[in-house]
């Protein structure tokens, strides 16, 4: 009983140690992973920021350069019947020469939307919601801005439009010009980082509305409400914890006036936690099984040694040590009064198994001369002895 209690305590201690080890491992893993994710997200954000700057800096520069072009200003300032042909030729040359999907210019006076292949339409932002971007951009009173749209100009894909303000020498508005860049390149770049590093990459405006995303369903529909987007942290990478437990790095992109958002995938950390738990559970089961086997082998060996020490090897009968060890229990059992009765009975059974021709008798009494004397006389009478017994 005492041995079973000791084994139970040993099992409980082993199990408790594994539980504490698992908890400690999970806490340490959480801290290490948070540091690693923080560092990795910053490195990814820096690389994406550089790539975005490379991808969009040129179209931004082109749009700004167009807005300063004297020829464009003169065409917008002096519109006539010849303007359409000259404007089309001018825009087509830029589009073909620079390889953009579209190059455009809009007259603020006539609201004519010029493209490289002719006039697209006349803006009517009071009745056409697609044209609302124009007064919105004009009212911002900024030199350039970016807008995202699809299908408006015949490009059946999400497009980033770089809009630039065109003014005369007296800073009076002449119109808006710019270029359109398909978002496909940015989306593929974002998707590559997402697949390689298990993150989510987006470009969002200052309100959190998604402008560029590898998943098109999120563009201009999903809004990241829980992010703290502050333009005050210009040039800095800002670290935040999202409401879903993921880790976010944001960076304000000055030229785009958008925020780059790199969000870690919480599933990755959960997967690591699950791996730690599974490994510790399997290790615990292995150690428990090994301990069970060890206890069983130890008990079996102890029983074998006990049998060797308590029994006579040739006969298999209990020896004096067994008697000294178990005499109290033997005397308390309902046996005949002679305390060596059990050994005599075992020897009787052993002799019979060997086929010995023996006579066995027993009777009531205790281990003293009052019992021995008459039985000794009977044995002596049985022996073929000459003469009489002497009392």
* Cα-Cα-Cα-Cα dihedral sign, residues 119, 124, 128, 131: positive
Residue 193, Ramachandran bin (φ over 0: left; ψ between -120 and 50: alpha; else beta): alpha
pLDDT at 267: 47
> CB of 276 within 8 A of CB of 29?
yes
- Cβ atoms within 10 A of the Cβ of 382, count? 9
Distance CA 210, CA 224 (A): 8
Write the DSSP symbol of residue 318. B
> CB of 166 within 8 A of CB of 189?
no
pLDDT per residue as tens digits for the range 81-121: 889 999 999 999 999 998 888 899 999 999 999 999 899 89
Cα-based distances in Å from 210 to 51, 78, 179, 199, 259: 19, 39, 21, 16, 9
Distance CA 71, CA 207 (A): 37
Distance CA 46, CA 181 (A): 22
Least confident interval from 15-19, 157-161, 256-260: 15-19
- At 267, list the tokens: 């599933």
- Residue appearing with tokens 């529909």: 221
pLDDT at 175: 96
- At 287, list the tokens: 């150690």
Q: Which of 8, 10, 25, 9 is nearest to 280 (CA)?
A: 25
Distance CA 313, CA 266 (A): 69
pTM metric for this prediction: 0.54
- At 216, list the tokens: 């098109």
pLDDT at 225: 81
Cα-based distances in Å from 311 to 314, 321, 335, 356: 9, 8, 21, 21
Q: Please give the backbone phi and psi of residue 113, each rounded to the nearest 5 degrees, phi first.
A: -100, 100
* Cα-Cα-Cα-Cα dihedral sign, residues 236, 237, 240, 242: positive
> CB of 165 within 8 A of CB of 176?
yes
Q: Percent of the chain having pLDDT more than 70?
A: 77
pLDDT at 334: 43
pLDDT at 314: 65
3-state secondary structure of 234: coil
Q: Read off the pLDDT of each residue in 25-42 and give the average, rounded to a whole number.
A: 66
Q: Please give the backbone phi and psi of residue 127, each rounded to the nearest 5 degrees, phi first.
A: -120, -20
Q: Edge-to-edge strands of the sheet including 112-115? A: 118-122, 112-115, 102-107, 173-182, 159-167, 144-149
pLDDT at 85: 93
- At 276, list the tokens: 């730690």
> CB of 157 within 8 A of CB of 184?
yes
In terms of DSSP bridges, do strands 102-107 and 173-182 run parallel, antiparallel, or are they unpaired? antiparallel
Give me the CATH code for the 2-60+185-270 domain, please.
3.30.450
List strand residue ranges (DSSP E) for 144-280, in order: 144-149, 159-167, 173-182, 199-204, 210-213, 237-241, 247-253, 258-264
Q: Read off the pLDDT of each residue in 236-256 and give the average, rounded to a whole number.
A: 78
Looking at domain 68-182, what is its CATH homologous superfamily?
Answer: PAS domain (3.30.450.20)
Q: Please give the backbone phi and psi of residue 206, each rounded to the nearest 5 degrees, phi first.
A: -65, -15
Contact residues for 211 (Cβ-Cβ < 8 A; gap 6+): 146, 148, 160, 202, 203, 204, 205, 219, 220, 258
Mean pLDDT comparison of 149-153, 186-190, 238-242, highest-scoring range? 186-190
pLDDT at 86: 94
Within the chain, which residue ranges are assigned CATH 3.30.450.20?
A: 68-182
pLDDT at 173: 95
Q: Please give the backbone phi and psi of residue 137, each rounded to the nearest 5 degrees, phi first.
A: -70, -45
């Amino acid at each position: 009983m005492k041995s079973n209690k000791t084994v139970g305590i040993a099992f409980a201690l082993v199990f408790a140690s594994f539980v504490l080890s698992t908890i400690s491992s999970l806490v340490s893993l959480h801290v290490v992973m948070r540091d690693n994710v923080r560092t990795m997200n910053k490195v990814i954000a820096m690389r994406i920021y550089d790539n975005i700057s490379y991808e969009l800096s040129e179209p931004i520069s082109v749009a700004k350069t167009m807005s300063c072009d004297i020829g464009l200003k003169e065409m917008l300032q002096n519109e006539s019947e010849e303007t359409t042909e000259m404007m089309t030729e001018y825009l087509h040359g830029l589009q073909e020469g620079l390889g953009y999907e579209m190059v455009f210019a809009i007259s603020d006076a006539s609201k004519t939307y010029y493209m490289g292949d002719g006039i697209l339409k006349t803006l009517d932002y009071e009745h056409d919601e697609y044209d609302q971007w124009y007064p919105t951009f004009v009212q911002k009173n900024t030199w350039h801005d970016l807008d995202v749209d699809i299908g408006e100009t015949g490009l059946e894909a999400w497009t980033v439009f770089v809009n630039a303000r065109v003014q005369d020498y007296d800073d009076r508005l002449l119109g808006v010009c710019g270029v359109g860049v398909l978002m496909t390149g940015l989306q593929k770049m974002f998707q590559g980082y997402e697949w390689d590093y298990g993150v989510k990459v987006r470009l969002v405006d200052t309100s959190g509305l998604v402008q560029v995303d590898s998943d098109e369903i999120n563009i201009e529909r999903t809004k990241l409400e829980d992010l703290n987007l502050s333009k005050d942290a210009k040039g800095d990478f800002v670290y935040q914890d999202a409401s879903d437990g993921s880790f976010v790095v944001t960076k304000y992109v000055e030229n785009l006036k958008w925020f780059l958002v790199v969000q870690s995938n919480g599933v990755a950390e959960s997967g690591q936690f699950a791996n730690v738990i599974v490994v510790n559970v399997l290790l615990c089961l292995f150690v428990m099984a090994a301990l069970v086997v060890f206890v069983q082998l130890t008990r079996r060996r102890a029983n074998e040694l006990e049998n060797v020490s308590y029994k006579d090897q040739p006969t298999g009968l209990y020896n004096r040590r067994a008697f000294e060890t178990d005499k109290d229990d033997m005397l308390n059992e309902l046996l005949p009064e002679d305390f060596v009765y059990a050994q005599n009975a075992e020897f009787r059974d052993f002799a019979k198994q060997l086929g010995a021709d023996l006579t066995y008798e027993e009777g009531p009494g205790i281990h003293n001369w009052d019992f021995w004397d008459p039985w000794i006389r009977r044995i002596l009478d049985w022996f073929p002895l000459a003469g009489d017994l002497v009392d």
